[in-house]
Structure formats: structure tokens, C-alpha cells
Amino acid sequence: MMFLAIKVYGEDSHSRSVWVSPGATAREACHMLVQTAHCSDQENWALLEVHPTLGLERCLEDHEVVLEVQATWSLKGDTRFMFCKNYAKYEFFRKPMLFFPESMISDSADVNKGMTSSELIKNLLKSGTCPEIQGFLHVKEPSRKAWKKVYFFLRRSGLYSSSKGSSKEPRHLQYVADLGDLNVYTVVNSRKLYGAPTDFTFCIKPSKNPIRVQDLKILCAENEQTRTCWTSAFRLFKYGKQLQCNYEMSKAAPQNVEGSKLADGKSKSEASLVAMDFSGKAGGRVIQNPMEAQSAEREEGLAWRVRMEGVLTRAAFCRMFLIRDSQQHAQCFVLSLCYQLKTKHYLVIPFENGGRKYYTMDDGDTLFIDLLQLVEFHQINKGILPVCLKHPCVCVAL
């Protein structure tokens, strides 16, 4: 299986790299980042797509494939992924009345039959759908600085605007966008960037194309609640029941990151994701905890100087490791681990499974596609080792 590295930024502007498979989802990437950083409150972490120059950002849905999202970015842009808290990700399922004011719920047959707007919201959200939304929004006219106030309707069939006030007669409705082919973003610093009349701006754009300013449909609401209503409705109309499933899964206990048991019932997240920090001088390695990320460069630099001087102190000798060819077993390798001033050796043997070659240290219970994945796994989980791997040893005779 081929792995590709994506760079993920934290709220402190520091980045780390994550190795993902072509099918890895945003949920799986977040679980790996949560595990390696030992984050609490696991369900409220999210992966954001951020476009700093344009002031756009959106929360990836849990089921979205990370590399497919990245493939839509311009190579010359500054688009990035950000890992941060998002407590409101599924809040509309918990408190729908705070997200959908009755004044924005369009008149419908259900309401006319005796169902109140409140009952309509609760009923439709349980099924992962959304009632029709209506209201005024400021819209930025193409190629102009001027903003115009227009009445919009959001329906299953798409987004429409009215050419005559709030009239919803078919002859007055103009088709604006297909919900299945767009993403919705909140806009940061919209007054400065786009001359927006308020700070509560969002935009929609085709989901499969690189972001171009001319493709952005920029809309501005009167207040935060109105903007949240519109952006939440876009998500619900686009994904429907899928969001309900994502919400239910987010409430379940997250799976622990384990080794790649590449047999029937294997977990894609277990085999495809590794979070690493590339700031150290010894190369890429998995971050163990948040404090380690801050001290990694200093720690690795000190270890490197000690090794070059040929002095192995107790501190430097602890948890150092290397992998070398086995001198006694053909096509095998040996993992040598220095721990508590003792050197232990673990045989890494090739293992056939389903016509493919893997490596294992525990007679096939845990399989790895290559030595790099074996090391990265044991930098997070100790497995059969007495301790997690930490310091790669370079040019040192044990």
C-alpha cells in the first residue's frame, strides 16, 4: 500500500506530518493525531481546511477522504490542514432550536397541517435532513465591490434567489447552485478582504475545483446565528443521513490505534496513519506527547553530539534503537534496543499473508508492510517491547 505525507498545523502554528493511505478519512486522521498528542475530549477535535490568503476555512466532515480534499488545492496556494477543537461540529443535533430560528423556516405543507416549526426541526433532524431555509443575505456582486441584499431559499434541489423581494413564485426564482457540488466556508476578516457589510460572512464554491476568487459566491448574514443557520443547513442538505451517522459514531468510544492486523476485519485506520515530527536532526519520528514536540530538536541535537563524541551516558543510552540485517537468518532483520543499560535484540522476520509479504516480530500476530511502519508503530505502542521506541541510533556500534 502506498502512503503519502500530509502536513497538519496546530493552533500554535507548528506543524507535523501524517502518513496516510489513499482512502484515509478525516476521522481516522484525527484519531491518530489525538492518540499521538494524548488529547482529551476526543470527539471534539476536527480537521480544518484553511485558505489563509482568501480568509476561508471549513471543518472537514468525518467521512471525507483527506487526500481527495488535498487534490483539489492549487499547488501554488497556501492552503493547509489544521488540527483544532470544534465543539459546535454536531451541536445542531443536540440543540436544533438554537441553530434554526423559526423565522428562517420556510412555510411548508407540514407546518400547514398542524406541525409547528419546532416540531418540524426536531423531526427532520432526527432523520438527518433539514427543513427549507429562507431569508435575506447580502451578496457580493461579481467583479464589483458593491453588495446587494437578496432573498434566498435553500431547498433539496439547490440554492435559489428571488428577483422580486421575498417572492417564491417560480417565475421570480433564479437557480444559484447545486448543493451536491459545493462546499461551504466561513470567511475570516471579511470586512478587510472583501468589504463585507458585517463580520458574519460565508461563501460557497465548487468542491472539486481549485479555489479561484472568481468562483467564490460570497454571502453575508446580519448576525452569527443567521450565518450558522445557513452553513449548518448547507451541510445537512448536502450530506443528509451521512451526517447523522457521523454524529452517532462521534459519540462512540474511539478505537485505540493498534498494529496492522492485515487479515479479515482489518482496520484501515490502524494500517494507514502515522503522525510524525520532522524537526529533529535524526529524521522523522512520531511525537509522543505535546511537551516532546517542543523539546524534540533540543533533545535530538544533544543525543547526536553525545553519539558523535563516542560517549554513551546513561541518559543518552536509554531507549536508543536501530534495525540491521540479521547475520544468522537470511532475509531477516534485527531490532536492537538499548534500555536500562542493557541491549535486547528482536528478530524481524518476513511473513506471507494473502499473497503479500509483510514483516512481524510476534509470529504474525501483528503485521507491517515495511520496516518504517514497524518502527512508527512501536514509537506509539510498545507491543512486545519493554518500552516504546524513542531515539534512532545512527553510526553507533552496540
Q: What is the pLDDT of residues 318-354, one digit of tens each?
A: 578 888 888 888 889 999 998 877 888 999 999 988 7
Classify the C-alpha dihedral 365-369-372-376 as positive or negative.
negative
Please list, residue by residue across 279-311, b when 16 or more beta carbons sit within 10 angstroms of its beta carbon and e when fewer do: bbebebbbbbeeebbeebeebbeebbebbeeee
CA–CA gap between residue 374 and residue 368 (Å, rounded): 6
pLDDT of residue 129: 63
| Closest C-alpha among 3, 4, 79, 90 to residue 45 | 90
CB 135 within 8 A of CB 226: yes
Question: Which residue has 514483516 as its cell numbers?
Answer: 359
Report which of 163, 103, 171, 167 is spatially closest to residue 139, judged by C-alpha positions.
163
pLDDT value for 300 = 42
Report the percentage of the chain scoring pLDDT > 70.
73
Sign of the C-alpha dihedral, residues 155, 157, 160, 165?
negative
Instruction: Say what angle helices 224-239 and 241-251 make with each other, to 10 degrees.
Output: 100
The DSSP code for 290 is H
Q: What is the pLDDT of residue 231?
A: 92
Type of residue at 352: E
| Parts of the chain with a pLDDT under 50 | 109-112, 253-276, 278-285, 287, 293, 296-298, 300-317, 395-398
Global pTM value? 0.60
List of domains in the chain: 91-250 (2.30.29.30), 310-392 (3.30.505.10)
Question: What is the residue whose three cell numbers read 452553513?
Answer: 231
- At 274, which amino acid appears? V
223 burial (CB, 10 Å; 0-12 / 13-18 / 19+) is exposed
Q: What is the pLDDT of residue 291?
A: 55
Question: Shortest CA distance to 189 belongs to which of 70, 318, 54?
Answer: 54
Q: What is the DSSP letter of 29?
A: H
Residues 6+ apart with CB under 8 A from 351: 357, 358, 359, 360, 364, 367
pLDDT of residue 152: 94
Residues in the chain: 398
